[in-house]
A = this chain, B = another copy of it.
Amino acid sequence: MTDFWNGIPDITARLDAVRARMKSVVGSDRFPLAEAVERLIDANGKMLRPAFLIMAGRFGRRPKDLTDLAASIELLHIATLIHDDVIDEADTRRGIPTIHSLYSPKEAVLAGDWLFSRCFRLASDSSSPGNARLLAALIGALCSEEIHQDLDRFRWPRSARNYLRKIAGKTAALFSLALRAGAVETKASSANIAALTRAGYAAGMAFQIMDDVLDYESSSGDMRKPVAKDVREGLCTLPLILAIRADPERILPRLGPGKPDERAVASIVDAVRESGAMESAKAVASAYTARAMRELSRLPKGSASDDLRATVERLLSRTY
């Protein structure tokens, strides 16, 4: 994962400091599962959200150490992953046994709750009340969207507008919050705050659409089975929505009210790929990427905006 940050100076060291802060939080207050959560922190990915926050802080007029707020945002992410693993009954995440499998669902639910509380505390200690509130509002929106999505499983809702609204409230809102909070905390100009907020939104939209496209493109295991996790779980993402629109006769009969078997999954994936929907979805993502880059180009020239543009470009090309 370190590779991702190659050629973007400083950020690795800053993220190491965030990771250390996260561990010191987890190691405090007699928290009984500290070791297990620390392993999750070590196995954690690129740490995009804290990186965005820190990079946005470079546009401020009053520099400020954002380590605590960055740690808070990433702890929140870890808390949601822990709860996701309970919900999905996952045994491992990134090769690390989940808390739910090491202990029990009970411990995992409580560990997630504990992290939520520490993350709110850290956010309210280290940021303006406005940003702490924004963070709380965002978590609420994320949970709410997740519930909506779950209740819609296997109903195959076909509205591209609802899909876009859903990811706007999820990935786009998180990216946007990270960039906005970094700028607000360091007293950036309102023009820069607005450009960063909009860039984060557009980048988040592009990122999530590409994520959903990749789910149809990649394959796993010896048999090179399509991953198609979304179809298996009854989720209707942009490629499938656009494929239904392009070729309803072929696709609709394959979508039922229950979990599809392997053959059905393979035939849905083939139909989506052959419908041209992948290309259409990528075009939507590209439009959002272009919008993100346009917003970033409004920022003052210099290494701060060069680094941020390089990150977004790299992220959306998805070669890492």
On whether the beta carbons of A32 and B147 are closer than 8 Å, the reply is yes
Among the interface residues A33, A118, A121, which one has the most CB atoms of the partner chain B within 10 A?
Answer: A121
List residues of chain B with CB within 8 A of the CB of A226. none
On whether the beta carbons of B150 and A107 are closer than 8 Å, the reply is yes
Q: Judge if A97 is at the interface, Cβ distance under 8 Å.
A: no
Closest B residue, CB atoms, query A30: B144
Q: How far is the CA of A18 from the CA of B309 in the complex (A)?
A: 48
Scan residues 14-41 of chain A and give those whose CB is less than 8 A from a CB of chain B.
29-33
List residues of chain B with CB within 8 A of the CB of A151. 32, 103, 107
On whether the beta carbons of A150 and B106 are closer than 8 Å, the reply is yes
On whether the beta carbons of A105 and B124 are closer than 8 Å, the reply is no
On whether the beta carbons of A143 and B124 are closer than 8 Å, the reply is no
On whether the beta carbons of A111 and B29 are closer than 8 Å, the reply is no
Q: Judge if A148 is at the interface, Cβ distance under 8 Å.
A: yes
Q: Give chain B nearest CB distance to A100 CB in angstroms.
A: 11
Of the four ranges (under 10, 10 to 19, 20 to 34, 35 or more), the interface on chain A belongs to: 35 or more
On whether the beta carbons of B133 and A121 are closer than 8 Å, the reply is yes
Chain A interface, DSSP helix/strand/loop, else mixed: helix
On whether the beta carbons of A109 and B86 are closer than 8 Å, the reply is yes
On whether the beta carbons of B147 and A111 are closer than 8 Å, the reply is yes
Q: Give chain B nearest CB distance to A193 CB in angstroms.
A: 21
Residue from the list B29, B105, B147 in contact with A114, Cβ < 8 A: B147
On whether the beta carbons of A143 and B86 are closer than 8 Å, the reply is no
Q: How far is the CA of A113 from the CA of B146 in the complex (A)?
A: 11
Q: How far is the CA of A138 from the CA of B121 in the complex (A)?
A: 10
Residue from the list B87, B103, B144 in contact with A31, Cβ < 8 A: B144
Q: Give chain B nearest CB distance to A167 CB in angstroms.
A: 15
List residues of chain B with CB within 8 A of the CB of A150. 104, 106-107, 110
Closest B residue, CB atoms, query A132: B124
**Contact A29 to B141, CB < 8 A, known contacts A83-B109, A109-B83, A114-B147:** yes
Residue from the list B29, B133, B147 in contact with A124, Cβ < 8 A: B133
Residue from the list B110, B118, B141 in contact with A146, Cβ < 8 A: B110
Closest B residue, CB atoms, query A106: B87
Closest B residue, CB atoms, query A141: B29
A-B contact pairs, 7 of them (CB 8 A): A29-B140, A32-B144, A110-B147, A113-B113, A116-B116, A116-B139, A117-B140
